[in-house]
Amino acid sequence: MARVLINFPQRAKRGDIIEIKTLIQHPMETGYRLDNKGAAIPRDIINCFTCAYNGDEVFRIELFPAISANPFIAFSTVATESGELVFSWTDDHGQTQTETRQITVE
Amino acid sequence: MNGVLRPLLALAAATVVAAAPDEKRSGYDFAGPEIRAMQDDDTANPGNLWVLQGETLWGKRAGAADRSCADCHGDAQVSMKGVAARYPAFDAALRRPIDLEQRINQCRTEHQKAEPLSWESDELLGVSAFLARQSRGLPITVSASPESSPFLDLGGKLFEQREGQLNLACSQCHDENWGKRLAGNLIPQGHPTGYPVYRLEWQSLGSLQRRLRNCMTGVRAEPFEFGAPQAVALELYLMERARGMPMDAPAVRP
């Protein structure tokens, strides 16, 4: 499992716009590079990231080979109700890493 | 034309680092505002991914002794505070200074009876980043013990010595020409305050040894092997040269 950092206000007022910041460890290999023997290094990137807030998708991004290693993604959403935020990163191998965090809305 | 040019000139003036010639400046002072913001925000600083890994390894048992770092050293926030700011440190048994990475591996082989971690592996960078993080904000204070003084002298000599096909010494860039540009990049003073450092060019965390090898390759010299005594002497000299500067590891640099 890749290491992940997620940061957002744990408590928010209803209707507040909250900023959510995420960072994940990933090489984001472009597929354009050669190794020291001249063989192409196969592409290996996270191609999709989503965030669901109590089951509703509030954010989705498609990523392409120009994104740097260890992609940092920040976005905002409106705090509507207490519940859980589910973050998913999907890579070229089709593997998905999912992280769940709780938020309290008052 | 003048109206277009003026804001550009103002911008150029703002990026020039102004300091007294004898003032010590960290690489942080030379970095742009975006890079500083990246370093200062714990979620945006990718070095913290390695810190997280190091924290896990700190508590994980390893080797034939089946002991973790924490079994002997306890809470790193207490026991490791300021430790990274004192390395390289003189090792009485080896009769020479060793750097933080070598000390971690010494602990692994002697006390954990485990395989040493390889240079620049995520594991070794993780532990060293986790330790260096415990010294954030604390001043660099390498020991000025009489035993390490010959090695300090050697490091100083290496810093002043011209080498490679470009025939350049470290001091020619980092003492005499800091603040000027080398191929579009600002030349910093070369103070190792933030190692291991997340370098955007590397897209990864890297040790001071890697950085030194990088500079040596840059002047077309044959780089020291990882962990070579000369490389550690140079590290020791650089840390002494940066004495009193606050640590900012894991730093982000261009």
* Chain A contact residues (CB < 8 Å to B): 3, 5-7, 21-25, 27-28, 68-70, 72, 74
Cβ distance A23 to B52 less than 8 Å, yes or no, reads: no
Q: DSSP E strands: which ranges in B65-164? A: 89-91, 96-98
Instruction: Please report whether residue B70 resides in a domain.
Output: yes
The residue whose two tokens read 């911008």 is: B11
Instruction: Please report whether residue B11 resides in a domain.
Output: no
Residue B202 belongs to domain with CATH number = 1.10.760.10
Predicted confidence (pLDDT) per residue in B5-49, tens digit: 444 444 444 444 555 556 899 999 999 999 999 999 999 999 999
CB pairs under 8 A between A and B: 38
A5 contacts in chain B (CB < 8 Å): 42-43, 48-49, 52
pLDDT at B85 over 60: yes
Kind and range of the H or E run holding B139: none
Chain B's closest residue to A68, CA to CA, is: B203
Cβ distance B43 to A27 less than 8 Å, yes or no, reads: no
Kind and range of the H or E run holding A74: strand A72-78
pLDDT of residue B143: 83
Number of domains forming the structure of chain B: 1
Q: Give the Å distances, CA to CA, from B182 to B10, B186, B188.
A: 21, 6, 10
Kind and range of the H or E run holding B126: helix B122-133
What is the rounded CA–CA span in Å between residue B73 and residue B60?
13
Q: Taking the CB of residue B170, how many other CB atoms lie within 10 A of it?
A: 22
Mean pLDDT along residues B80-99: 95
Q: For residue A78, list its beta bridge partners.
A: A17
Instruction: Please report whether residue B1 resides in a domain.
Output: no
Dihedral of the alpha carbons of B110, B233, B207, B165, in degrees to the nearest 10: -140
String of DSSP letters for A17-62: EEEEEEEE----B-S--B-TTSPBPPPB-EEEEEEEETTEEEEEEE
More confident call, B249 vs B20: B249
Q: Is B43 on the interface with A (CB under 8 A)?
A: yes
Predicted confidence (pLDDT) per residue in B167-203, tens digit: 999 999 999 999 999 888 899 999 999 999 999 999 9
pLDDT at A67 over 80: yes
Mean pLDDT score across all residues of chain B: 91
Chain centre to alpha carbon of residue B30? 16
Instruction: Please report whether residue B4 resides in a domain.
Output: no
Cβ distance A69 to B49 less than 8 Å, yes or no, reads: no
Q: Is B215 a catalytic residue?
A: yes
Instruction: Please report whether residue B162 resides in a domain.
Output: yes
Instruction: Please report whether residue B6 resides in a domain.
Output: no
Residue environment code for A17-51, b if the CB has 16+ CB neighbours within 10 A, otherwise e = ebebbbbbbbebbbeeeeeeeeeeeeebbbbebbb
Per CATH, the number for A4-105 is 2.60.40.10
Instruction: Please report whether residue B38 resides in a domain.
Output: yes
* pTM recorded for the entire structure: 0.89
Question: Which residues, numbered 185 to 244 in chain B, qualify as contacts with chain A under a Cβ-Cβ cut-off of 8 Å?
Answer: 200, 203-204
Minimal Cβ distance to B53: which of A3, A6, A7: A3
The residue whose two tokens read 């703002």 is: B14
Chain A's closest residue to B38, CA to CA, is: A72
What is the rounded CA–CA span in Å between residue B129 and residue B204?
12
What is the rounded CA–CA span in Å between residue B133 and residue B156?
27
Interface predicted TM-score of the whole assembly (ipTM), two decimals: 0.88
Kind and range of the H or E run holding B198: strand B197-199
Residue B56's domain comprises 24-254
